[in-house]
Structure 1
Amino acid sequence: MRKRILFVINPISGGKKKTAFNKQVLEVLDLKKFDPTFKITNHPNHAYELGKQAIKEGYDAVVAVGGDGTINELGSAILGTDMPLGIIPEGSGNGLALYLGIPLNESAALRRINRFETVEVDTGEINGRNFFNIAGIGFDAFVSDHFATENIRGPIGYLRSSLNVFSKFKPSVYRLEIDGKAYEREAFMISVANSPQYGNNAYIAPQASINDGILDVCIVHKFPLYLLPKMVFHLFTKSADQSDYVEIIPGKNIRIIRDDRGPVHVDGEPVDMGDTLDISIQHKSLKIIC
């Protein structure tokens, strides 16, 4: 009997048109082994709803055709079940897919689905919201919040948002507790990494692993403006952990307290959260086809 697969397509992710995607699936997917169905998201959290529906309807797998945000919604829907998640990377950054070695080329990614080999990955949780790649506060969270209103998607829109936020952003003081040990830091941003990179091969936590049961708390301290090119260089050469302005502390149970509520990015999607953030990890809680 053929496996039933639901492809959940985010039509606006990454600024890419996906009108020919269904046809490509029918050409590349092994239709002797798989029976595909296609659904398009049309509002926030729709992928999550479609994932829950797929469980009820007895699908054998769901596939996120989008970026880390679409992956987050679908992954959250099937978390704790035996249903695997496939990924066709169509986002602005594709951080999780790049880490897992899933090709950015659609046909090559679909051939991975044909293999139907899975790996178990960890899941982070921040104030009840799941994340599979990276969650963070500070500069990158404000960038995500700005990017959500940007009319240009993809890397160009993200760069424009980054420059806009950077011109007026100020670091904040955070109080942290990581596995029972207390810290206080003035930080430009704090990223809690399940996997090493944001996307586009920008590595904030080069040593992070998605199935080691540990989160990497990456604290980027306040740095002088003239060092910005060097900080960017560290990101794209997998050497952020070698910067004097980056501190990485591994942990399983994390609390971060800030003075005010504000945006938190959860796999790149902005979410408004309170002044106290409780973060934990669920070891090997999701199966991903890769």
Structure 2
Amino acid sequence: MFLMDKWCVIVNPKAAAWKTRKEWPKISRILNSQGIDYVPFITQHKGHGIYLATQAIEKGFDSFIAIGGDGTVNEIVNAIMDHASDSLQMRIGMIPTGTGNDWEKSVGIPNDYVKACDVIKQGRTLVQDVGIVKYYEGNEKKKRYFVNVAGLGFDAVVTKKANDLSERPRGTFSYLLSLFTCLMKNKSLPVEVGLDGEKEKHLMFSMAVGIGKYNGGGMMQIPHAMIDDGILSVTLVNNISKLDIILHIKMLYNGTVTQHPKVDTYNVKSMTLRSLKEDRHVYLEVDGESLGHDPFEFDIIKRKLNVVVI
């Protein structure tokens, strides 16, 4: 099925506050010891992984390993979806070195380097869905594929704050620190949401649109999500008090957040969202990467990506 035995390895040295730069020599030795044939490429800046993976596709590579976090995976996937003649003739594995690594939890990739390399050597795959969101940066309309979760509103604000702490360790602690910092300033926003064409109005605090269950460094915000059912699972947090969030923060981690009376859940194949306040936008992050703002159009492509798993 896969033509090349050689893997294209995309290494993001900045992942986990430059932890990956320190860990790469160790990971390289493990790959060598397991007889995995690969060519490494090191990213230099945000978005560089898309370019490197695109170049590799043009050279004939069909097998990729992401070494970094969810954002590294996202860049490779966007290159595959935009530039491969058939995404199902490609595959992607991961050796997680980020501190969140939420996608790996949903698909079943070990956090241990040796075990992750062994999974890659075995080469077993599952086929998962891919989401796509169209959004704006200023007046320019753009699109982005995602494989885990897109966050809107408060979730996107917190993610951007966590990302800005680029020289500090990220993950659960960083996300929680950013959450409490942003909580004092954030306000709910009136929005119009289209759910498979049916329009609803909400006073939205935050929203997660997912293929995977986890985001924010281990938060199970979308416990009803499945990675291969052709459905976008949605958790929408309506207008909620700051005290209520603080008192129920545990619900974000144990998967019971959907039981809160201020939370609505949906399963859809397409979704739109726009702010009903002219002077305020809703902001977006996908797979932990901060992007642009509304209006948004979400769609799902069923079973479109080969993932190397246990």
Name the TM tier (shorter chain).
Answer: over 0.9
Q: Say yes or no: does 1:153 pair with 2:160.
A: no
Q: Distance in 1 between matches of 2:130 and 2:181?
A: 31
The 10-residue stretch of structure 1 (156-165 or 113-122) with the greater mean CA deviation from structure 2 = 156-165
Is 2:291 the counterpart of 1:271? yes
Which segments of 5 or more consecutive residues in structure 2 lack a partner in the other structure? 135-142
Maintained 8 Å contact 2:158/2:179: yes
Distance in 2 separating the partners of 1:154 and 1:148: 8
How far residue 20 of structure 1 moved from its aligned partner, in angstroms, is: 4.3
Deviations 1:170-220 (A, max 9, x none): 111110111121111111101111111105331111010011000012111
Report the counterpart of residue 42 of structure 1 in structure 2: 44
Cα separation, 2, equivalents of 1:24 and 1:106: 7
Deviation of 1:268 after TM superposition, in Å, equals: 1.2
**d(CA) in 2 for partners of 1:193, 1:14:** 23
Q: Could you tell me which of 5, 19, 24 is aligned with 1:21?
A: 24
Gaps of 5+ in 1: none
Cα displacement string for residues 68-88 of structure 1 (whole angstroms, at most 9, x for unaligned residues): 111100011112421101111
After superposition, where does 1:70-219 map in structure 2 within 5 Å? Answer: 70-79=72-81, 80-81=86-87, 82-127=89-134, 128-150=143-165, 151-155=167-171, 156-219=173-236
Q: Which moved more, 1:122-131 or 1:159-168?
A: 159-168
Q: CA deviation at 1:134?
A: 0.7
CA contact (8 A) 1:13 1:153 kept: no
> Which stretch of the first structure deviates more once superposed, 241-250 or 254-263?
254-263
The equivalent position to 1:254 in structure 2, one of 251, 271, 274, is 271
Task: Encode CA deviations 1:142-178: one digit per residue, 9 max, x unaligned.
Answer: 1122223223231233332222111111111110111
Structure 2 match to 1:12 = 14
Q: Sequence identity of aligned pairs in percent?
A: 28
* 1:221-251 residue CA offsets vs partner (Å, 9 max, x unmatched): 1223332244321121121221112110110
Structure 2: which amino acid aligns with 1:248?
T
1:11-62 Cα distance to aligned partner (Å, 9 max, x none): 1112224334244333345655x31111110111111111111111122411
Q: Which moved more, 1:78-87 or 1:152-161?
A: 152-161
* C-alpha distance in 2 between matches for 1:68 and 1:265: 12
Instruction: Name the Cα RMSD after superposition.
Output: 1.9
- Aligned-partner SS, 1:168: coil
Alignment check: 8 A CA contact 1:145 1:263 kept:
no
Residues in 1 aligned to 2:105 and 2:34: alpha-carbon distance in whole angstroms = 26
Inter-partner Cα distance in structure 1 for 2:23 and 2:253: 32
Contact 2:175 2:216 in 1 (8 A): no
Q: Equivalent residue of 1:277, what SS? A: strand
Range that drifts further, 1-10 or 139-148: 1-10
Structure 1 length-normalised TM:
0.93
Contact 1:29 1:110 in 2 (8 A): no
